[in-house]
Structure formats: C-alpha cells, structure tokens
Amino acid sequence: MTLYADSLKALTVNELAAMKRAGEKISCLTAYDASFSALLDRVGIDVLLIGDSLGMVVQGHDSTLPVTVDDMVYHSRSVAMARKRAFVVTDLPFASYATPVQALGNAARLMQNGAAQMVKLEGGKVEVIQFLVEQGIPVCGHLGLLPQSVNRLGGYKVQGREERQARQIVEDAEKVQNAGASLLVLECVPAGLAAEISRRLRIPVIGIGAGVDCDGQVLVLYDMLNISTGKRPRFSKDFMVDAESIEDAVRRYHQAVKSAQFPAPEHSY
C-alpha cells in the first residue's frame, strides 16, 4: 500500500520518515523545470531532487562544479511551482557551504526564493549540518561518491570497497544523522554496505548505485529516459525501452522502486 498517494498536499519530512518505518520504498528523481515536475508529480514520485547534475545534463558542462547558487534557485523555483505533492530537495552547489554562516545564507536563498523544502550537501560536514538544522533548515546528507569532489577523488569511482573506507562511510553516516540530517543519499557504494547503513540509521537512506536495500532510490531523470548527452551510468536503467511515452517510463520506474524490482543486481556494485 502506498502512503499519502492521494494527498494533494506536499509531503513532509515526517511523512518520509513514516514511509521508512512502514517499509514503503521512497521514489525519487531529479527535476529541473516545471513541465517535468508536473509530470513526475502526477505519476506519484515522492521526492523531486533539484540536483546540481543540471550542470551536466542541462547546461552541458563536464562536471557539476560550474553550477551557481543562482542556477539552483532558478531551477528549484521552477520545479516547486509546478508540483502539488512531491517533496522538494535542492542541492547546495560546489563551494557554497564552506562555513556554517555561508551555508546558512545560501540555504536560506534556496528555501525563500527557490521554494525548497530541504537542502542537500555533500560530505560529513557535521558542523554545517548541525548549524543549519538549529536554524530550522532541513538537511539531506550525501555520502559515498561525491560529484563535487570529483577532482580530489580522481574521477567517478565506486566508494567503500576497501574495509577502511567502508567503515569511514558508516561512521560518517551516523555522524550526519546525529547532527540532525533528515535524509541521506548514498551514491556508488557496494550494496552490502548500503544495506548495513540503511539498517543502522533512523532516517531514510536514498540510494543511487547503492543496491535495492536502501529505503528509496534516485536517478538522474535524463539518464533513465536515455536522453543524456554522456554515457548512461551502469547503475541507471533505460526505462524508455518498451514504454509508450515518457510518462509511462516514469510510471514504470516509480512502480519498480516501490516493488523493490529496481535496482536489479546488474545495477548494483
């Protein structure tokens, strides 16, 4: 049974937490404009992530690094205005949250001008997360592969395969939760590690390339529609195959996540 599916009111962070407790998978896709926002919302997608991935799939850059706070405010507002039910999470872009005070100023812009319900930031930045939460700003953490740190990591590589690194990700996940984050995205980590973290945490864990045992799944919209300019990641799937329309493809993704049919083993590490 799907919780809150018929509600015309926007989902809240408490309702997402209730979905985890009830064992209902959370479906999430990136969105960058009003038209796709309305379509995804109509299908029943639970969370719309305005990701800084827009730098690559919308703007044509080879990384997320050039994306600005102004860009994120613009796209977040466009998405939020067109949805009725889906929960809206917006990325804080590269170098916009180096200190708690800087993070607060930029997060406030995303919420006041971009109509975000929550902001997402990468890494185990406990002090920043705690400060934002103290100011009333809901936070989504992001661990594993960190696209904003691609130059430091040496490319887009699976994280947590070595025992030491895996233990660090588990420790960081618990610190992020204890700092007050309400959601966590885990990207490109082994499925077993993601399953362990999902069991340990009280907050919902949304996976991307992290196996089927996370509390929910997210993909870049353009990847799952097979219209990205670059190569589709291994952990993604072309849902346009056999679909009658874009809306049908999104519905197939939503149903596959809810029924734990996606990701399959071939989409996991």
Both structure tokens of 133: 């939460």
> Catalytic amino acids?
187
- SS3 state at 27: strand
Let me know: does 17 contact 182? Beta carbons within 8 Å.
yes
Burial class of 263 by CB neighbour count within 10 A (0 to 12, 13 to 18, 19+): buried
Both structure tokens of 262: 């996606």
Burial class of 248 by CB neighbour count within 10 A (0 to 12, 13 to 18, 19+): middle
Residue-wise over 13-36: b if at least 16 C-beta within 10 A, else e?
bebbbebbeeebbbbbbbbbebeb
What's the Cα-to-Cα distance from 175 to each of 102, 143, 222, rounded to whole Å?
Answer: 21, 11, 32
Report the C-alpha gap between 130 and 226 in whole angstroms.
38
Both structure tokens of 38: 């309305």
Cβ contacts of residue 197 below 8 Å, gap of 6+? 169, 170, 173, 184, 186, 205
What's the start-to-end Cα distance of the chain, in Å? 29
- SS3 state at 64: coil
